Every structure is written in structure tokens, then in C-alpha cells.
Structure 1
Amino acid sequence: MKDPEYLRYRPCVGTMLVNERGEAFVGKRIDNREGDWWQMPQGGVDLGEDLDVAMLRELGEETGASPQHLEIVHRMEQEQFYDLPEDLQGKLWGGRYKGQRQKWYLVRFTGSDADIDLEAHEHPEFCEWKWVDPDLLPELIVPFKKPIYEAVVAEFKPRLRLL
């Protein structure tokens, strides 16, 4: 039996997608154009869905990247949790969750920039994208997700040297 508090977090996967230069993909969300916030691909896991499958699906939906251009390098052992700001709680995800619990992946992108297509999915989530130095990631994300990005960068950075 899961702790009821644990269940109040939406299951999610997140991905640090890196190119051959060790730069990370970030996108600007369509639904938050007024802020200058950028995020790595992430999304919900369907009930019973395998996490690797969910991650590849989300990457395909958000970046248009084909699985043939993706190589899983590492999975974070520890789930990361965040709470939504109070003004967003009850408004997102049908009001069922107070935040997300995320399993993070480091994925090597072997394609070219031409293989990124933000409009590959019927409902695009990003309006712009770019490659950035991973050290900048915590400064680009909305403040309430900053601790997660710091943890992700700390865990994945040593592995970036090996790519």
C-alpha cells in the first residue's frame, strides 16, 4: 500500500537530452510565453506504462526525436519530487495532484538539429528550443523546479565527460 501523500504526486519522467557537444536540450513552453523560463522535456506516465517507454514517448511528442536517434545513458535511482506553487495547485492535472514525482534520464541524441521537430505532435508543448551548457539549467527553469534541476545536473554532469 502506498502512502496517500505519495499518491498525490503525479508520476512523471524527465530527460536531459544531450548532443555530441554535451549540451542539453531546453524548450520554452507554449503555455508560458510571458516568462523567460526554459525546461528539459518531461511528461506524465500513463497507468501501467513502463518508464523507459514513457520517456521515449514524451521525447518524441515534445522534440520530434526518433527513437533511432536516442540512446539511454543513465537513469537516476532516486525519484525527484516538487510541489506546485499554491496558486497552481488544484488547477493542473484535473486538480488531483499537488506536484510531481519524477524519474530522470540522461539520453544521448545522435541525430542532427534537423531531426528536432517541435510540431511533430498534434499538441506541441514548446514554441522554441536551444542547446545549452548543463551548468545553466538550474537558472533557466521556473524557481519551484530549481532544486530538481540542481540534483539532475549534479548526478549527470560526471557522465557527460564520458560521452
Structure 2
Amino acid sequence: MADHPTHRPNVGVVLFNQSGQVWFGHRAGQTSSHSWQFPQGGVDKGEDLEAAARRELEEETGVVSADLLGRTEGWIIYDFPEALKAQHKRDGRKPWDGQKQVWFAFRFTGEEAEIRLDQHEEIEFDAWRWGDLSEACDLIVPFKRAAYEQVVAAFSGFAKAPG
């Protein structure tokens, strides 16, 4: 994780259903039209990246029934806007320049009743829906768009029903 030392190590998850659609979560308390995203979160020191992805998926969505489809190689990087960096500093957070991410694609194998947004004390999402992978770049906050373009390109082959 020595590459890009000023960027927070992070994992992201694209969860595909049996029809090839992807899971989008609406960020809790946000009102912007760019408030939908995939689950993502920080990697604990020494934590295996796939284990971190599965932990974040469970914490943010309740989902544990998921088969690994693939992952991105290397880091996908994005920078925080200056206003967000300033907010993090005011909040006493470590002053990261942005995030470096490895993304994982999983196929959801459970029932939708398994999806629970209240599995963790910090609620990340207040709503969710299935949608097309091609929608992702239009739903995400603009500063993450280039990263999402890379994720969409990497995982587009999974955006169809298996079989």
C-alpha cells in the first residue's frame, strides 16, 4: 500500500444480481442527484483486500450471500475536492488527498430480504435499488466519475445474466 501514500486505502464493491443489474445505494441524508453510489470503505491495517470488501458490503448493505466474480488490478485513484479536504481537517480526520481503491465484483446469491441498511452503527445508505451498470457514472458525485468509468469498463462483462 506504499503507492500513493497520501491517498486512503479503500475497497469498493459492485454487487450484481442474477439479471446482471447492479446495486446502488443512496447516501444517507444527501439530496443531490449525484447521491447514489456503490458500497465502499477503508481497509484496516493488515486487512486482506477481499476480506475488507466483504466486510464493507455486509456493514453497508447486510449482504453476505455473494460470490466473487473479479477484481481490478492496481489502484484506482481519485482526489478529494479542496472543500472536502478542508471539511475533513475541520472534523479532525486525517488529511488524505483522496482515495486509492481496489474494486471487487460479486454476484448476489441471496434473497432480497437479506439486504438491510441498518447493519452498522454508521448508516451509509438510506435507500437502495437495482439498476444498469451504465448508469453509475451519471449517479456518482462528479469528483469520483473518472474512477467509476474505470470500474464500469473493468466489470462490464458481468452486466448480463449468467449462463
Specify if TM > 0.5. Answer: yes
- Say if 1:105 and 1:2 are closer, same or farther in 2 by CA, change over 3 A: closer
Spell out structure 1 runs of 4+ moving beyond 4 A: none
Identity %: 43
Q: Gaps (5+ residues) in structure 1?
A: none
Aligned to 2:19: 21
Instruction: Work out which of the residue numbers 69, 78, 85 in structure 2 matches 1:82.
Output: 78
Q: Distance in 2 between matches of 1:72 and 1:16?
A: 10
Q: Gaps (5+ residues) in structure 2?
A: none
Q: 1:120: how far off?
A: 1.5
Q: 1:111: how far off?
A: 1.1
Deviation sequence 1:105-154 (CA, Å, 0-9, x none): 11000112111000111221101111110011100000010111111111
1:90·1:97 contact (CA, 8 Å) conserved in 2? no
Aligned to 2:56: 58
Q: Distance in 1 between matches of 2:119 and 2:128?
A: 14
Aligned to 2:31: 34
Deviation sequence 1:86-114 (CA, Å, 0-9, x none): 10114338132010000001100011211
1:90·1:98 contact (CA, 8 Å) conserved in 2? no
Question: What amino acid does structure 1 have at the position aligned with 2:40?
Answer: Q
Worse-matched range after superposition: 9-18 or 113-122: 113-122
Q: Count residues with an aligned counterpart.
A: 158
Q: 1:162: how far off?
A: 6.7
**TM-score, normalization by structure 2:** 0.91
**TM-score, normalization by structure 1:** 0.91
